[in-house]
Amino acid sequence: MDILETDAYDRRQRRNTSCALFFSLLPFFLSTALYFYLWTPDIPSSITNAGVKSAPALLLAAAVLSWNGGQSVLGVVGGLVFSAVGDFCLVWPELFLHGMGAFAVAHLLYSFTFLSSRYTAYSSSSWTRFLYLILFLFGGAFYIYLYPFLQKAPNSDLLVPGVGVYILLIVVMGTLAIRTGRTSTLLGSLIFMVSDLSLALQVFKVTAPMEHGHLVVMVTYYLAQLLIAVGDVRAVESKDDFAKWKRS
């Protein structure tokens, strides 16, 4: 009977936690909806536009900080803040390199987080090693495919090595997400790669302008950040639950 009561209590606790987490994410959802409501294809670059675009990432960082405290500042919270800086910069095409640099720092912080003790490493298998290989081969193939277009772009002397380093960082981040064995973290990282791939194809004029290209980039981007943030909150919760179980 005690076991059944404990199990029921745990289910209630998880349900209450999920509801509380949802409400803490409401500002993120509302700011994301506001961004899509206000965005139009001919919207001019402005401080206001940049602020609206970067607000969801900052509000997501605030939500994670409220749940995890300072232990995520040099992790997912920091990554979200740098992502917001990247969002702000990318509103102006001439600040593309600055935005890419900010997102590169975000991927580094995410990678360090996925290596931290609160993410229990998933036991490596032939299947996971195969996924690692696929990600690195895909990243390398995409860079080779993109290379001729990078050479034609302005600032190609900076873009050619810069994009190569950026692709390496996001592939490493995706690989470490696989290592965590957490579904939301893994999906968030992979969807982030899809978002960046879509952006690169459009920015470097690899494909013809797509009617809903911007929406594809931003929907996948915000979804990716949400999943990574939720994964980090869940990782800390799991660690705390395990610590309580050991002390009991």
Per-residue pLDDT tens over the stretch 72-88: 778 899 999 999 999 99
Which domain does 8 fall in, by range?
2-247
Please enumerate in sequence order all residues whose Cβ is within 8 A of that of 31, keeping only pairs 6 or more positions apart, or say none: 52, 55, 56, 59
170, 135 Cβ separation under 8 angstroms: no
Mean pLDDT in the chain? Answer: 87
Question: How confident is the model at residue 14, as a pLDDT?
Answer: 58
CA distance 206 to 148: 10
Take residue 89 and report the two structure tokens written for it.
Answer: 């910069």
Q: What's the pTM value of the predicted model, to 2 decimals?
A: 0.87
Contacts for 102 with CB less than 8 Å, ≥ 6 apart: 82, 83, 85, 86, 89
Identify which has the larger pLDDT, 70 or 57: 57
Retrieve residue 111's tokens: 């990678």
In angstroms, rounded to a whole number, what is the distance separating the alpha carbons of residues 89 and 187? Answer: 26
Lowest mean pLDDT: which of 102-106, 113-117, 182-186, 223-227? 113-117
Lowest mean pLDDT among 3-17, 34-48, 97-111, 203-217: 3-17
Nearest by Cα to 236 from 113, 154, 153, 127? 113
How many domains does the structure of the chain reveal? 1
Q: Which whole number is the average pLDDT over 201-209? A: 88
Confidence of residue 248 (pLDDT cuts 50, 70, 90): very low
Angle at 19 between CA 15 and CA 20, to 5 degrees: 115
Mean pLDDT, residues 44-72 taken together:
91
**pLDDT recorded at residue 70:** 73
Burial class (CB in 10 A: 0-12, 13-18, 19+), 199: buried
pLDDT band, residue 239 (cuts 50/70/90): low
Q: Mean pLDDT, to the nearest integer, of 23-33? A: 95
| pLDDT on residue 212 | 85
For residue 139, give the nearest of 113, 117, 165, 162 by alpha carbon. Answer: 165
Q: What is the pLDDT of residue 59?
A: 97
Looking at the chain, the whole-number percentage of residues with pLDDT higher than 90 is 64
pLDDT, greater one: 153 or 86: 86
